[in-house]
Structure 1
Amino acid sequence: MAIKIEKIKELSIIKLKPIIEDSRNQGFLFVQRLVDNWIDQKNCFDQKGEVLLIAKDADRFIGLCGLNIDPFVKHLGEQDLS
Structure 2
Amino acid sequence: MGKYDVKQIYNLLNFDLGHLVKESKEDGFRFVERLVNDYKNGSNTFNNSGEGLFGVFSEEGILVAIGGLNIDPFSNDQSIGRLRRFYVSKEHRRNGVGSLLVKKIIDEAKGYYKILVLNTDTEQADKFYTSLGFSKENHYPNSSHFMEFKS
TM-score range, shorter chain: 0.7 to 0.9
Q: TM-score if structure 1 supplies the norm length?
A: 0.84
Q: TM-score if structure 2 supplies the norm length?
A: 0.48
Paired residues in the alignment total 80
Q: RMSD over aligned Cα, in angstroms?
A: 2.1
Give secondary structure in 2 for the equivalent of 1:33. helix
Which 5+ residue runs of structure 1 have no aligned equivalent?
Answer: none
Instruction: Find the counterpart in structure 1 of residue 79 from structure 2.
Output: 75
Larger relative contact order (CA 8 Å, sep ≥ 6): 1
Which 5+ residue runs of structure 2 have no aligned equivalent?
Answer: 82-110, 114-151
Give secondary structure in 1 for the equivalent of 2:5. strand
What's the CA shift for 1:13? 6.4
Deviation >3 Å, runs of 4+: none
CA–CA separation in structure 2 for the residues paired with 1:22 and 1:45: 23
What's the CA shift for 1:15? 2.1
Instruction: Find the counterpart in structure 2 of residue 45 from structure 1.
Output: 46
Instruction: Find the counterpart in structure 2 of residue 56 from structure 1.
Output: 57
